[in-house]
Structure 1
Amino acid sequence: MKWENKMIQEQAKILSNQKIADQVYKMEIETTLSSQSAPGQFVEIQVPGYYLRRPISICEIQEGILTIIYKVLGDGTKVMSKMEAGETIDLFGPCGTGFPIENRDTVLLAGGGVGVPPLYECAKQYRNKNTNVQVVLGFNSKKDVFYVDEFEQLGCSVYVSTMDGS
C-alpha cells in the first residue's frame, strides 16, 4: 500500500490524555490527518505558549483518530501532559516516510522507550496480513514499561528487557 504524503495543519480535538507509565502519556486525538497517516510517520505538535513544535510519533491510526504516546522531557511536553479531553491541539503532518508493510511470513520489530509507539501500528498492519510478529521492547526499568498488553492483544510474541534488569 502506498500513502500520499499530503501534510495538513489543523486544530484537532483531544479525546483523552492519560498517564500510562512513569512520565509517559497516551493522547488520542480526533483529526483528519488519520486518513493520510501511515505506520512510522509522526506529527509536529504546537504546544500552547511555545514557539517550536514537538515531533511525536504516531502510535495508532484509526478512522478519524490518531493516538500518540510521548514522554515528559521538558516544559513543552509537561504542558501537553496537563491538556484535557475537549481541548484543541495544533497538529501538522503527517511527516516522514512510513514503514513499508510487505508480504512476509514473520517480522521482528525492536524498539525502546519512545521508539516503541511507532511499532504498534506497524505490528497491527502486519497482523492484519496474518504475519507472525515478534516484538522486542527495551526500557530503562520496570516502571517505564508500557504497551506490552496491547502488542499481545494483537497476537504478537512480546519480549521485554530493561537496562537495570528489573
Structure 2
Amino acid sequence: MSAHRPDILLRSGNFFNFLSPETSIITIEDIASGLANEARFNGQTLSFYSVAQHSVLVSLIVPPELAMVGLLHDCSEAVMKDLPKPLKRLLPDYQVLEQAIEAAILGRFGITLPLDPAIKAADLILLATEKRDLMPPHHYQEWPGVEPLAQVIVPMQPVEAYSYFMDRYHQLMAYHGAPQH
C-alpha cells in the first residue's frame, strides 16, 4: 500500500477519494461528524464554533424549499477543511478540487450546482452575525447592507453540533419525504 493514497478514512469506515469523489461513499453521519469537528474562521473565534452549527443556522433562515441545500451547502468542508476565504483565493487548484467534491457530495442528495442565490444571501447574513457574536471587536464590514440576525449565536461543542445537524437533517427528511442517504 502506498503512503500517498488520495483518500481519507471516514467515520463510517468508508474511504473518501479526493481524485474520484463521485465514486466515494460518504454518509450524512460522515458529513455531520466532519462539519461538527471543523471550526469556522480557522478557529479564530472567541470560542469554538463549528461549520455544522453554521450550516443548521443557514438551513433555518433560507426559504423552506431550500432548507436541505442550506444544511449541506458547506458539505465539502467535511472532508477538505474550511479554509479562510483570503487563503482559498490564493489556491486555484484547491478551489477546483473543492468544486468537484462539492458537486459529488451534493449530487448524492439530489442537489446540483450552482446553488440558489438565496443560499449565498443567507450565508452572508450568518457571516455578519458570526463576526458580531463570535469574533473579537472590529470595525471592518465587508458587506454593506447585510444585516446580522437579531438572535445571538451561542456556540455549541462538537458533540452538540453533531446532534443539532443530524436532528435538522432528520427533520427535513421527514418533512420532504426524500430518501435517506
Return the TM-score normalized by structure 2.
Answer: 0.26
Q: Which structure: greater helix fraction?
A: 2
- Tell me: higher relative CO, structure 1 or 2? Use CA pairs within 8 A at least 6 residues apart: 2
